[in-house]
Amino acid sequence: MIHPDIAAPSPEPAPGNWRAMVAPYLKPDSRRALIQLSTTFLPFLGVMAATLVALDHGILAAMLLFPVGAFLLVRLFMFQHDCGHGSFFTARWANDLLGWVLGVLTLTPYTVWRGAHAIHHASAGNLDRRGVGDVTTLTVSEYLALPAWRRLAYRLYRHPLVMLGAGPAWLFLIRPRIPLGNPRRRWRDWLSILGTDAALAAVLATLVLALGPVTVLLGWLPVMLLAATIGVWLFYVQHQFEDAYWEPRGQWDFATGALQGASFYDLPAVLHWLTGNIGFHHIHHLASRIPNYRLRECFKANPALQAAPRLTLRSSLGCARLALWDAERRKLVSFRELRARTR
C-alpha cells in the first residue's frame, strides 16, 4: 500500500528523453560554486566559534548552536559529494582539491569515498551488486535462510537505534580511520585514509593546544556526530522506502533504478538549502554530473521528473521500520510484517 504522502511513480521517460531533459543542467558553474562555498563555509566557522564562546556560559547555551553547525557541515559534505562526481567546479583539479580539504573537515577520506560512491551509483537497486556504498539490505528469502544468530545480527544492524545511533559514529569517526587491503595494490586508498588521518590529527592537535581538550571535545564532537546522523538518515531514506526498486542483474535498468529506486525527499525550502538539494535524489541518480545548485531547476523544468516516489518529513519516518525486500510483493517490508505473513 502506498503511503498517502507518497506519490505513486509513473512510467519513467524513455532513455533518449531523459538524456535530453538533463543535458542543459550538466555544466558546472564555478562562480555559483564559489558563492555556495563562501556562504556556507564562513557561516560554519562563525557558528563553531560562537559555540566555543557559548561553552563558557555552559553546555546548554552551546547546545542551541549544535544543530546549526551540524546542518552547515552536512551542506559542506554535499559540496564534497559534488566534487566526487566532478560536478561542483568546472576544473577537475579544483573539484579534487576541495574534495580532499572538505574530506578532512567531514572525516571522510575523499578518494576512498569517491570510489565506493561511484559503485553505488552504478549499481543502486541491483540485487546482484549489493554491498558497496549502500545500506545492507537482505531479501525475505535470504533472511529466512539465515541461522538464528545471523538473523539476530541483521535485526540489530537494521534497528533504528543502531542505524542512527552507533552507526554514524562507526561510519564517520572509526571506520574511515582504518585502511584495509593490500597497501601495494590499494596504495591510493591507503594514501587517502592515512593522509586524511594525518591532516585531521594536525588540526585537532592545534585546536587542543589553543583551546584545551575539553573545549574541543564538547564543541566539536556533538556537531560532528549530529551531522553524521543527519547524513546517514538522508542516505537511508533516499533508497529505503516502501515502493523502492530492486531487481536481479538481468532485469535491472539504470534509469528505472534512478527514477523509482531513489526518492524525491520533498523538504521545506530551508532544509533543501541546508542539505544541498540532495532531496532531488532521483535526478541526482539519473545524472550525477548535475551540480547541486542546478537540481531544483531541472526538477521544475521537467514534469516527467516530478512523478518520482515522494517522501515528506512525516511520511519518511515510517521508513525507519523497513528492513527486507519482499520480491513477491515488490516492496520493502518490516520484520513485523514478515512475522504476520509467516504466521
Q: Domain spans of the chain?
A: 15-132+160-230+263-314
Q: How far is CA 77 from CA 30, 91, 104, 132, 186, in A?
A: 17, 19, 10, 19, 24
CA distance 108 to 196: 8
**Tens digit of pLDDT for each residue in 195-252?**
999 999 999 999 999 889 988 899 999 999 999 999 999 999 999 999 999 999 999 9
What does the pLDDT read at residue 16? Answer: 55
CA distance 238 to 235: 5
Which residues in the chain show pLDDT less than 70?
Answer: 1-16
Cα dihedral 220, 223, 225, 230 in deg (nearest 10): -160
